[in-house]
Structure 1
């Protein structure tokens, strides 16, 4: 009689265990499924957010400075077009009785071909003027067309100073649309300085075909650069930078000899205004764009966090002074670019170049103060230059400080070829 009872008790225990196991399964399995679902949803959301961030970054990364211009989103669709009149540009429209002729192709810019040309009135021989013509390619996207319009507006609204590159006219009502710029006969200042040497007692300018193609030059009659000339050119550049920062609250971002144009009367104009144009358009400069400038022209705070202010332009202006007085030598010639941040942190500064007077060197070192607030503003730099220029040597031509080839210069300067 005990065996049936024991069997019943065992069956009861087994049932209880099975029931408990089933109840636990009912609780655990849905919990696991719910947890897995939450994890999967979280991963999907994370991937979706990451893709959106990558798309936004890719859009921003399309901003680039080419030939002083910029482009934002080549694939964007805009309502505006060059066929629609713009009041800002109407005053700068080239009238129908003016024609552009004798175009000589120089290079391809971001928006299309860049040429040297002659601007003149139809049927007249007087008043002919050499110009630079930037044309819009027929293959530009709607976004690039809008960028071209915005570039014209920047030239028209901001570049109204004698020391900034000048847009004379624009063409938006006929094709090809374009911008007509003032031509500076000697072209790029860095090329001019590096190619300007005193050889056997006579001054020779070696023409760079990419920068000065189509311009008339005569060997033996080009100006010899003196320290007084450096003061004059530097004062013009400082005046343009004072105008940018004071009147428009803009920074240049890449103050260097390669971004200065020079005329045969030694008047100069700032070019390479892509960063200023971007800041004027958007109110800021993207960090990636700020770090594209070669290290040897950047201020310490900019090397640290890419922060660009008027005072960082002042630091770069001191580097420009060094370039001018050495006839285009690369800054920090004894340092690799990668060594520069550590050396500057230890208060290293370039020594006074042999052709440089003490007063001009004082202006440089004033620009190279470690703490940005201690550096002068461009108004003060301009005053210091004007006061110091009184005793500058205006007779002795400056000697070149190096015999580097162009490829060697690019390497030492840390400039991508």
Structure 2
């Protein structure tokens, strides 16, 4: 075979070998790529399924956690800031041998239901009457933290006989709650207005309120306010009969400490919350939008004394709330109630000085009340200052229904 023919045959064989190799590459390479892709996709899908499974397990653990089970609302499960291990809260947990029974809702508070209840100690006949301040299941995460901070506030600040006391708290049982000492006669405003019936019927079982009793109760409230402002540099923000509790021996304790709790935590009082206080209990500077101070509480304390000596009459009974700012600026003040002694009215009037620095501090208020108490009438029962129905009272007082 000659050389050109041999070269042609070699070239043809090379071509077929190259063509076969190229064809094999066309088949093998995509197959390898497809296989690799399937493996990668499988790994991704497996990891995704595993993440979802782990997340579902965590969510399930959250919903079965007794500390978090209550924090469920229409938006689903949310993380909250319930500080389970906080030593202040843990130290005041309701002991396991005590159970809450006979719960009866009285009203709705800022955080949720407020109820009367009885604590029963297992294995004994020991019981204790309490008030529960509970956290609503429909609360926001921010309200959860505010509620826990309220527990800390009561544990750290409310250590005065004239401030309502937290006996225990619950964060490990549903619903979270503050457990407060119950005062047998409850709210002072309701007590004063209910006393109308007792006075008129001369019911021996119902206490007959005298002017000396007013001095005693006023002194106790002023002592609690002196403690808040002097020891902790805090204001109450809503000093009124509706925020005082009464026991059967006519001892009283301040409640409604939400504004003080916020100030204790943040150093300031939110204007939105402060504006919710009815106008007839606000000082002139508050009506003008200025900051709340101890002297603002002193003004409101004068209103409280008026409520007490009139057995729960609404302040400024002849004025609509909208008329109040302009009338106060023109030096309008409430007249002395018929059964109010001159010294008591003099103290009330000093609390209503237009210029806040001219008002007495609570230390001076306590001294004046204690010094004048012995001269007060301790025999004659006070009589109601009005005959308004509860609905009429709310309207005149400017309290939303």
Name the TM tier (shorter chain): 0.7 to 0.9
Deviation of 1:280 (Å): 1.2
Deviation of 1:139 (Å): 4.6
Deviation of 1:402 (Å): 0.7
Deviation of 1:415 (Å): 1.4
Do structure 1's residue 197 and structure 2's residue 196 form an aligned pair? yes
Q: 1:75 to 1:326 in 2, by over 3 A?
A: farther
- CA deviation vs aligned residue, 1:278-325 (integer Å, no higher than 9, x gap): 111211112232222111111111111242100010011001000000
CA distance in structure 1 between the partners assigned to 2:96 and 2:182 by the alignment? 21
SS of 2:105's equivalent?
strand
- CA deviation vs aligned residue, 1:77-121 (integer Å, no higher than 9, x gap): 766325x21111222112122222222233344444332111132
Question: What is aligned with 1:290?
Answer: 274
CA contact (8 A) 2:302 2:348 kept: yes
Q: 1:292 to 1:142 in 2, by over 3 A?
A: closer
Question: What is aligned with 1:96?
Answer: 96
Question: What is aligned with 1:105?
Answer: 105
CA contact (8 A) 1:287 1:306 kept: no
CA contact (8 A) 1:76 1:142 kept: no
- CA deviation vs aligned residue, 1:181-223 (integer Å, no higher than 9, x gap): 111111111111112125685335xxxxxxxxxxxxxxx4011
Q: 1:263 to 1:379 in 2, by over 3 A?
A: same
CA distance in structure 1 between the partners assigned to 2:359 and 2:215 by the alignment? 19
CA distance in structure 1 between the partners assigned to 2:186 and 2:197 by the alignment? 19
Structure 1 window deviating more from structure 2 (249-258 vs 303-312): it is: 303-312
Q: 1:75 to 1:254 in 2, by over 3 A?
A: farther
Deviation of 1:166 (Å): 1.0
Q: 1:316 to 1:112 in 2, by over 3 A?
A: closer
1:393-408 pair list within 5 angstroms:
393-408=377-392
- CA deviation vs aligned residue, 1:23-48 (integer Å, no higher than 9, x gap): xxxxxxxxxxxxxxxxxxxxxxxxxx
Which of 367, 371, 377 aligns to 1:383? It is 367
Q: 1:178 to 1:305 in 2, by over 3 A?
A: closer
Do structure 1's residue 336 and structure 2's residue 320 form an aligned pair? yes
Question: What is aligned with 1:171?
Answer: 170
Do structure 1's residue 363 and structure 2's residue 347 form an aligned pair? yes
SS of 2:196's equivalent?
strand
CA distance in structure 2 between the partners assigned to 1:141 and 1:304 by the alignment? 31
Question: What is aligned with 1:188?
Answer: 187
CA contact (8 A) 2:153 2:261 kept: yes
CA contact (8 A) 1:290 1:306 kept: no
TM-score under structure 1 length normalisation: 0.74
Do structure 1's residue 162 and structure 2's residue 146 form an aligned pair? no
Do structure 1's residue 313 and structure 2's residue 297 form an aligned pair? yes
- CA deviation vs aligned residue, 1:146-199 (integer Å, no higher than 9, x gap): 222111111111111111111100122333332211111111111111121256
- CA deviation vs aligned residue, 1:210-248 (integer Å, no higher than 9, x gap): xxxxxxxxxx40110000000010001000100110111
CA distance in structure 2 between the partners assigned to 1:274 and 1:245 by the alignment? 15
CA distance in structure 1 between the partners assigned to 2:145 and 2:201 by the alignment? 49
Q: 1:175 to 1:373 in 2, by over 3 A?
A: same
CA distance in structure 2 between the partners assigned to 1:197 and 1:283 by the alignment? 41
CA contact (8 A) 2:196 2:383 kept: yes
Question: What is aligned with 2:82?
Answer: 81
Structure number with greater Rg is: 2
Deviation of 1:381 (Å): 0.4
Deviation of 1:334 (Å): 1.3
Structure 1 window deviating more from structure 2 (356-365 vs 328-337): it is: 328-337
CA contact (8 A) 1:291 1:306 kept: no
SS of 1:152's equivalent?
helix
Question: What is aligned with 1:301?
Answer: 285
Deviation of 1:75 (Å): 11
Question: What is aligned with 2:62?
Answer: none
SS of 1:119's equivalent?
strand
SS of 1:224's equivalent?
coil
CA contact (8 A) 1:76 1:143 kept: no
The number of residues matched between the two structures is: 327
CA contact (8 A) 2:198 2:206 kept: no
Q: 1:137 to 1:409 in 2, by over 3 A?
A: closer
CA distance in structure 2 between the partners assigned to 1:201 and 1:409 by the alignment? 19
CA distance in structure 2 between the partners assigned to 1:377 and 1:76 by the alignment? 48
SS of 2:202's equivalent?
strand
Do structure 1's residue 124 and structure 2's residue 124 form an aligned pair? yes
